[in-house]
Amino acid sequence: MQRYLGFTHHFLLLTTSWLASSVLLTSPSQAATIALSQGSLLFTNFSQSPSSTFTNADTNVTSIFNGGDVATKADAIAYLGVTPPVGYSITSTQVFGENKDSIGLGRSKATIQGIFEADKNFSFNFSGELNLATLTNNPRQEGASVNGNLGFALINLANNKILDYFQVNGNLTTGDNDSLTYQNSSNVEFSAFSNYDLSESQEFYTSNFEGSLNHYFNNKTTVALVAFNSTEARVSTPTPSMLSGVILSWSVIMLGIKRKHIKNNEPC
């Protein structure tokens, strides 16, 4: 377990260093807007190995600038092994913009799916974290927003009924309401640690959690574990003249720059 946690932390340090490098290149006289969203999930100690697995990682970034500068980065990793039965997903989305007339948007998604033939008891441990941060020099003219959505669901494939679930959802938006919420079913036990620092121009949320799921069955049951991990970051310093161009180019924006990494052992 420590090995996979170490890999997660190493990945997040690499992506965060990219953001730090961008900040250092900014001139003190220029206005900078930064948005960062990172999420990770780790699953260990499964009561049994999955009979089949499917993972998917997807990223999408868009940068538009007219007199300003934007740098957008998105990464995603998804893995679910059979021997040993271990799974993890990592997403990281970062956007850095300076000066006026710039918009940057990044999205990262990672999905894990496993089929299990549960007999009497199905259990596993999980842990993860969600980090959200925004920075704006002028909140009235600049905008930054980030969000993250992490969790899992255990589904009975005989009737597609959700048996158990866990979800963490966080959102930060410049000059708007912010939130961080947890939801879980009765068979999911977890503990969480969260802290935050909120001000008009700088906002930061961090949440660490760990727990376990134990579900008992009367008969042998085929179940699917579906874990989701998505993060998004956006910055904008537009002027009215730029906004009209953005609206007219929306179809082009939606295409973005896509990069997909898909690993498919056997689809659910």
Instruction: Look at residue 64 in the predicted model and tell me its pLDDT.
Output: 85
All residues at 6 or more sequence positions from 207 whose CB lies less than 8 Å from its CB, including other chains = 129, 130, 131, 168, 170, 180, 192, 193, 194
Which residues in the chain land under pLDDT 50? Answer: 1-3, 5, 7-30, 239-268
Instruction: Give pLDDT, residue 31.
Output: 52
* pLDDT of res. 267: 42
- Give the pLDDT score at 42: 97
pTM: 0.79
Of 141, 133, 173, residue with least CA distance to 31: 141
The CA distance from 168 to 124, in Å, is 18
Contact (Cβ atoms closer than 8 angstroms) between residue 83 and residue 49: yes
The predicted structure's pLDDT at residue 105: 93
Beta bridge partners of 226: 113, 153
- Backbone angles phi and psi of 13, in degrees to 5: -65, -40
**Measured between alpha carbons, how far is residue 155 from residues 120, 161, 201 in Å?**
15, 6, 42
At 116 the pLDDT is 97
User: What per-residue confidence (pLDDT) applies to 156?
Assistant: 97
Q: Which single residue is written with the structure tokens 């991990």? A: 229
Whole-number Å distance between alpha carbons of 258 and 57: 11
